[in-house]
Amino acid sequence: MTEDPTARDASAAILGAELPEGARFVGPIPGLAPRWREGDHPTDADLATCVACGLCLPHCPTYRLTGEESASPRGRIAAMRLVAEGRADPDATFARFMDLCLACRACEDVCPSHVPYGRMIEAARVQIEPLRPAPERWLRRLGLGVLARPRLLSLAVRLQPLARQFLPARTRRLLPRRSRERRLPPVLEPRGEPRGTVALLTGCVQDRWYRSANLAAARVLARGGWRVLVPRDQACCGALHAHHGHLDAARALAERTITTFRGADAVLVTSAACAAHLSEVGHLLGTPEAHAFAERVEDVVRFLARNGLEPPPAGLGPVRVAVHDACHALRVSKIREEPRALLALVPDLELVEIPSGDVCCGAAGLYTVLQPETSDALMRAKAEAVAATGATLVASANPGCTLQISAGLRALGSDAEVLHPVEILDRAYGR
């Protein structure tokens, strides 16, 4: 009788089925449960996207500074996996790994697996907030709470000259002078033929310390034929809260922002980080309205470049401008050519690139305060790169970057001025 080729001896070993003692296939260990605390945490689906190839390592600023695996995206994801698989706790060591991250998302730009690292690090930071000493938690909550309340923020800014003398020397060097420009009116009518209506999100940090950027954006938009609405009841968008482990507060502020701008055809933002954050509120809130709102949000630089402007009739004289690319503009919003295209409209203006311009300046929201050593190293490198260009103006579309680069240039003795691209355009138009 011919032997059936499909028959199998149950006792026969299957090639490759047995592993050496102590070895196992990648995946959860039977009998262990995730050790995440209650609340947001990186999802198993997101963790599974990373194949640990390491292509992100040379692009990570903290890995480049330290050379440590734990200071890289791959190392941080490995730490998250250990907690998800029940092999480690989200403890002080875990917190140290997550806190050192800039959340610049340079890793996402080069990742072939499209790992959503940004939302993973934000969720991981929710897990470590309870580990902080009570005074530190209170100070963080106070600072973020003030940003979220416009009246309290305005009061804090008015008291800034009195409080400045009591601040640490490094903080005094970083802190910009408060804006003294008038508030934007609720409505700016267009000049010439109307092209449509847009709403302008003025922000918290941007409006209290860099209001000139909002005023310039409104004037340039009006000059370009756009009717500009500036809702009075707007507040912080929640970007800083999301970046620093307060996702519930970020959700509440996102919902408030959506309500404030309900009905607006386009919501324009002058802060690159805020524009990037609001473009992702669909995932943050998970509602159809949030997804629809995210589609209406646009960085003002991209909007102006996309819709076109008449070139200024005269320039600012021969001037060299170095263009800084904010991390979230470059990595999340994918904005690079737009500011260069706008500034190229100005006669006699020479645009120059900053060496290693795609490396984070070290501002990263509150990072400049919370991780001063790493932040200062990145600030110094960025300021030296800017100074090497010989530029007298620096175009920066994010308030945190503007603060950081300005402080770095002052430390070098440079008198180069850091302005939003729309401020440079506004000056060229002669206001």
Give the pLDDT confidence of 114-155 residue by residue, as tens digits: 999 999 999 999 999 999 999 999 989 998 999 999 888 888
Give the pLDDT confidence of 382-426 residue by residue, as tens digits: 999 999 999 999 999 999 999 999 999 999 999 999 999 999 999
H/E stretch holding 407 reads helix 399-412
Query: For residue 17, what pLDDT is reported?
Result: 61
Give the pLDDT confidence of 261-292 residue by residue, as tens digits: 999 999 999 999 999 999 999 999 999 999 99
Q: State phi, psi for 218 to the nearest 5 degrees.
A: -65, -40
Lowest mean pLDDT segment, chosen from 68-77, 82-91, 164-173, 216-225: 164-173
Q: Which domains does the chain have, with CATH numbers?
A: 44-131 (1.10.1060.10), 187-305 (1.20.1050), 311-429 (3.40.50)
DSSP letters for 172-220: HHHPPPPP-SPPPPSEEPPSSS--EEEEEE--SHHHHH-HHHHHHHHHH
Beta bridge partners of 196: 226
Give the pLDDT confidence of 218-250 residue by residue, as tens digits: 999 999 999 999 999 999 999 999 999 999 999
CB 267 within 8 A of CB 298: yes
Using CA atoms, how far apart are residues 277 and 265, in angstroms rounded to an integer? 19
CA-based radius of gyration for the chain: 25
Query: For residue 4, what pLDDT is reported?
Result: 52
Answer whether residue 259 shows pLDDT above 80: yes
Using CA atoms, how far apart are residues 315 and 309, in angstroms rounded to an integer? 15
Query: For residue 154, what pLDDT is reported?
Result: 86
CA torsion, ordered 233, 264, 331, 357, to nearest 10 deg? -70
Give pTM, 2 decimals.
Answer: 0.90
Using CA atoms, how far apart are residues 105 and 431, in angstroms rounded to an integer? 36
Closest CA to 408 of 424, 388, 428: 388
Using CA atoms, how far apart are residues 329 and 299, in angstroms rounded to an integer? 8
Closest CA to 268 of 331, 340, 196: 196
Q: Please state whether 94 falls in left (phi above 0), alpha (psi between -120 and 50) or beta.
A: alpha
H/E stretch holding 297 reads strand 297-299
CA 403, 405, 409, 414 dihedral sign is negative
